Amino acid sequence: NAGVTQTPKFQVLKTGQSMTLQCAQDMNHNSMYWYRQDPGMGLRLIYYSASEGTTDKGEVPNGYNVSRLNKREFSLRLESAAPSQTSVYFCASSDGLGSDTQYFGPGTRLTVL
Amino acid sequence: AQSVTQLDSQVPVFEEAPVELRCNYSSSVSVYLFWYVQYPNQGLQLLLKYLSGSTLVESINGFEAEFNKSQTSFHLRKPSVHISDTAEYFCAVSPSGTYKYIFGTGTRLKVLA
């Protein structure tokens, strides 16, 4: 039982390049989330998927797109990376509504030059 | 809209001393309350949560938090800290009936020998 897995662990991009961050969970959770963590700013929600087939914007969605591929997988895409997107990205999952515990992946450290 | 305030960005404390990490929130609807802990280079993991009932909740490793509705606070306490408690602690709220979580900016607890 791996929980929430994220790939890659580290990535360096040049401005304008694109990439997709992958996230998968094996807990049969309905909801999945993407956050970014920046020093002094805590975690900010980028996008979330309340259930398979649905996605919604969070607090900071600009510059990102997401795909809920199936119940297990939720990917985050940067179409044209910018230095402001340098951050640590966390994927999380939960069983459903906000009363449920969120389970986090180990994170992806992204640097955009 | 909801917000979470963690006024202390860093808290140094000596081993075996008590500690309190403060969390205040603002919300026009009822919320669920959480404390998450993040050890270096890891994702977040749940420490404890308040959903309803007794306002005092405890974790398995000696932390406790008390929900105070009138002061809109959910402070985290431990009567005697260990070196291994060194980590970053995040307070979070989730408005009832939603899928969203709003995190505070985090408090870095450093336990000194």
Mean of pLDDT values over A41-68:
93
Quote the domain boundaries for residue B92: 3-112
Residue-level pLDDT at A93: 95
Residue-level pLDDT at B8: 94
Helix (H) or strand (E) holding B14: strand B10-14
Residue A78: band (very low, low, confident or very high) from pLDDT cuts 50, 70, 90: very high
Instruction: Tell me the per-residue pLDDT of B53-76, one tens digit each, with 9 for 90 and over.
Output: 888 888 888 999 999 989 999 999
Residue A91 has pLDDT above 80, yes or no: yes
Mean of pLDDT values over B82-99:
92
Residue with tokens 């006024």: B7
A101 secondary structure, DSSP code: P
**Do B39 and B95 contact (CB within 8 A), yes or no?**
no
Residue B80: band (very low, low, confident or very high) from pLDDT cuts 50, 70, 90: very high
Residue B85 has pLDDT above 80, yes or no: yes
- Across the interface, do B51 and A99 touch by the CB < 8 Å criterion? yes
Site from B32, B99, B105 to mutate, A interface, most A CB atoms within 10 angstroms: B99
- Across the interface, do A104 and B44 touch by the CB < 8 Å criterion? yes
CATH of the domain at B34: 2.60.40.10
Percentage of chain B beyond pLDDT 90 is 71
Provide the number of structural domains found in chain B: 1
Burial of residue B43, with CB atoms counted within 10 A of its CB: 0-12 exposed, 13-18 middle, 19 or more buried: buried
Residue B100: band (very low, low, confident or very high) from pLDDT cuts 50, 70, 90: confident
- Torsion sign over Cα A107, A111, A112, B3: positive
- Residue from the list A40, A102, A107 with its beta carbon closest to the beta carbon of B105: A40
Residue-level pLDDT at A38: 93
Residue B49 has pLDDT above 90, yes or no: yes
Mean of pLDDT values over A23-34:
95
Q: What is the dihedral of CA B97, A6, B76, B61, to 10 degrees?
A: 120
- Residue of chain B whose Cα is closest to the Cα of A46: B100
Q: Looking at the complex, does the CB of residue B44 fall below 8 Å from at least one CB of chain A?
A: yes
C-alpha span between B82 and A91 (Å, rounded):
29
Q: What is the mean pLDDT of chain B?
A: 93
Residue B29 has pLDDT above 80, yes or no: yes
